[in-house]
Amino acid sequence: MLRLVHRFHLTNNPKTDILSGITVALALVPEAIAFAFVAGVDPLVGLYAAFFVGLITSVFGGRSGMISGATGAMAVAMVGIVSMYGIEYLFAAVLLAGLIQIIAGILQLGKFIRLVPHPVMLGFVNGLAIVIFLAQLGQFKAKQAAQSVTKAGEHAAEGGHSAIDVLFNGGWLQGTEMQLMVGLTVLTMAIIWLFPKLPKIGKWLPAPLVAILSVSFLVIGLDLDTKTVGDLASVAGGLPQFHIPMVPFTWETLFIIVPVAFTLAAIGLIESLLTLTLIDEMTETRGRTSQECVGQGLANTTCGLFGAMGGCAMIGQSMINIKSGGRGRLSGITAALALLGFILFTSQWIEMIPLAALTGLMMMVVIGTFAWASIRIIGKIPREDAFVIILVTTITVAYDLALAVIIGVIVSALVYAWKSANKIWVTEWHNKDDGRKVYMLHGPLFFGSIGRFKDLINPRNDEEDDIVIDFSRARVWDHSALEAIDALAVKYTEAGKTLHLVHLSPDCQLLLKQAKDMVEINLIEDPHYGVLVDYASVMGK
């Protein structure tokens, strides 16, 4: 059996992966129920999604040890279509979103996650840690389910994120009930922190699992009156049934679900690929981004056909798994199968688990997820990077993860373009042998630096009639640069001067229009570099 497991790369440590998977499954239950409430659907719809997404991505995804399931980021984007058109339209949108993700994987679009700068990654991690923390505060409130549905509906209309509202919508527990909730949460956190320090036994069992079981037995044994999983909703149910979405197959339906499907696909892929990158760094291994896109797509397509709400990678549960020692695909598979087992056979016991134990577990996840080093270095890194970290964190908490990452990448790109635009200069000299004036251009020539390029090289400043511009120390990045070279050639021609362009790449020579007759080709010395967009397309093949 072990040989079979190793052959298929399911695990290198079956016992650790299985125990870690069970721990993750326990934490998945209240999360799936809560996100189902946010989306405005039945709790079983969220639980089935956690099962399908967790199982399929663990088998077919590109990152072992990463846990996927129903997530808040996608749930917030679902509530609008559910409230306006009904749950069947949601299933159709999730199905289409899965197909879009599969296409993204086939086209290898996942590789573009490498364009996300490190400050954006730090902001993403910090923002999600804060969102997870705020979500846990809801456990310290009464009537959480009703509040979650109401607030989710309000924010769907406003296009906002529901996480931060937990601080302002009231409903906090009072007196002994609050004290007991806080005390059990702190106790859970203490067990998770201290248990690994115990000699021998601390290395054999996952601390989160020990903490959940210990606090659960304490609450049951002392008959303490505190909220349990069963207070959220029943987790009992049967096997999920095959279900084609009951929507009209018309163009009108397509126009309704397409925007939602693209939004869900984008949110799912961004969150999954960023989580994959984070786990890569933690485990010093390498996941496969394109394969993960396909795995996420297969999972969501299946959800759409079995009446589940869909999902993506979950950074909180992934951190639980990694911290508990789960590294192989077996951990994710175990978590999914254990979750289904809870639904089918042990729901009455799972419903007895105190929410305080699961809240304490997630609070430890928050502490482990937040990039505390970013606070220490915030004054030592460039101000632009510090601004991006704060910006992405803020938008993630106040609005939406996908939007935060997109804005962070755009701001980082603009900062880079601005800095690169100032990294261009020329050295010039006069060649006494032939009377030519030579300009050697240094740095990148692109849309941001062409203004500087025009100031550095101007026909009106040249007294010589024979001019040479040497591009051996420069790189032509885009079409704007080519147009600037062409325009310069026209100016020298109108001024009655002879212009020679040397050391331009063959790509540039082919794309130049006005200046192509002025290019002097030196096959020995000319560098072979391409215009950036052409080079990128070649690398993508």
What pLDDT, on the 0 to 100 scale, is given for residue 255? 93
- Tokens of residue 49, six digits: 């999604």
Considering only 259-263, 366-370, 405-409, which range has the smallest mean pLDDT? Answer: 366-370
**Which residues pair with residue 499 across a beta bridge?**
467
**Which residue from 403, 506, 423, 436 is spatially nearest to 73, judged by alpha carbons?**
403
The answer to whether residues 40 and 74 touch, using CB atoms and an 8 Å cutoff, is no
Other Cβ atoms within 10 Å of 209 Cβ, number: 22
pLDDT tens-digit series, residues 420-452? 888 889 998 887 777 788 899 998 888 889 988
Question: What does the pLDDT look like over 55-110, one tens digit per residue?
Answer: 999 999 989 999 999 987 788 788 789 989 999 999 999 999 999 999 999 999 88
The predicted model gives 145-171 an average pLDDT of 52
pLDDT above 50: residue 539: no
Backbone phi, then psi, for 436, in 5-degree steps? Answer: -90, 150
Please tell me the predicted confidence (pLDDT) of residue 7.
41
Do residues 219 and 391 lie in contact, with contact meaning Cβ atoms separated by under 8 Å?
A: no
Are 138 and 34 within 8 A, CB to CB? yes
Find, among 305, 338, 307, the residue nearest to 321 by Cα. 338
Residue 125 phi/psi, 5-degree rounding, is: -65, -45
- With pLDDT > 70 as the criterion, what percentage of the chain qualifies? 88
Radius of gyration of the chain (CA): 29
Rounded CA-CA distance 174/198 in Å is 36
Q: 502-526 pLDDT, tens per residue?
A: 887 777 777 676 666 665 544 334 4
Mean pLDDT across the chain = 83
Whether the pLDDT of residue 299 is over 90: the answer is yes
pLDDT of residue 388 exceeding 90, the answer is yes
How would residue 145 be classed by pLDDT, with cut points 50, 70 and 90? very low
Task: Note the pTM of the prediction, 2 decimals.
Answer: 0.73
Other beta carbons within 10 angstroms of residue 453's beta carbon come to 22
Q: How far apart are CA 388 and CA 371, in angstroms?
A: 14
Domains, the chain: 16-143+176-196+205-221+251-373 (no CATH), 422-539 (3.30.750.24)
| Whole-angstrom distance, CA of residue 107 vs CA of residue 94 | 20
Written as one letter, the residue type at 419 is K
d(CA 493, CA 400) in angstroms, rounded, equals 54
Q: Report yes or no: 141 and 181 within 8 Å, Cβ to Cβ.
A: no
What are phi and psi for residue 512, nearest 5 degrees? Answer: -70, 145
**Structure confidence at residue 143 (pLDDT):** 57
Q: Torsions phi, psi of 475, nearest 5?
A: -130, 130
CA atoms within 13 A on the CB side of 85: 20
With CA atoms as reference, report the closest residue to 456 among 491, 493, 424, 418: 424
Specify the pairing of strand 68-69 against strand 312-313: antiparallel
Q: Order of strands, edge to edge, in the sheet holding 436-445?
A: 425-431, 436-445, 466-476, 498-502, 519-520
Instruction: Indicate the range of 4-18, 391-405, 437-451 predicted with least confidence.
Output: 4-18
- Greatest mean pLDDT range, 18-32, 242-256, 508-522: 242-256
Q: Which of 450, 469, 449 is nearest to 459 (CA)?
A: 469
Q: 3-state SS string over 143-174? A: CHHHHHHHHHHHHHHHCCCCHHHHHCCCCECC
Nearest-angstrom CA–CA distance, 329 and 326 = 8
Task: Name the residue type at position 364.
Answer: M
pLDDT in tens, 222-236: 999 898 888 878 888
Task: Please compute the mean of the pLDDT values over residues 165-187 and round it to a whole number.
Answer: 86
Residue 177 has pLDDT above 80, yes or no: yes
**Would you place residue 182 in the very low, low, confident or very high pLDDT band (cuts 50, 70, 90)?**
very high
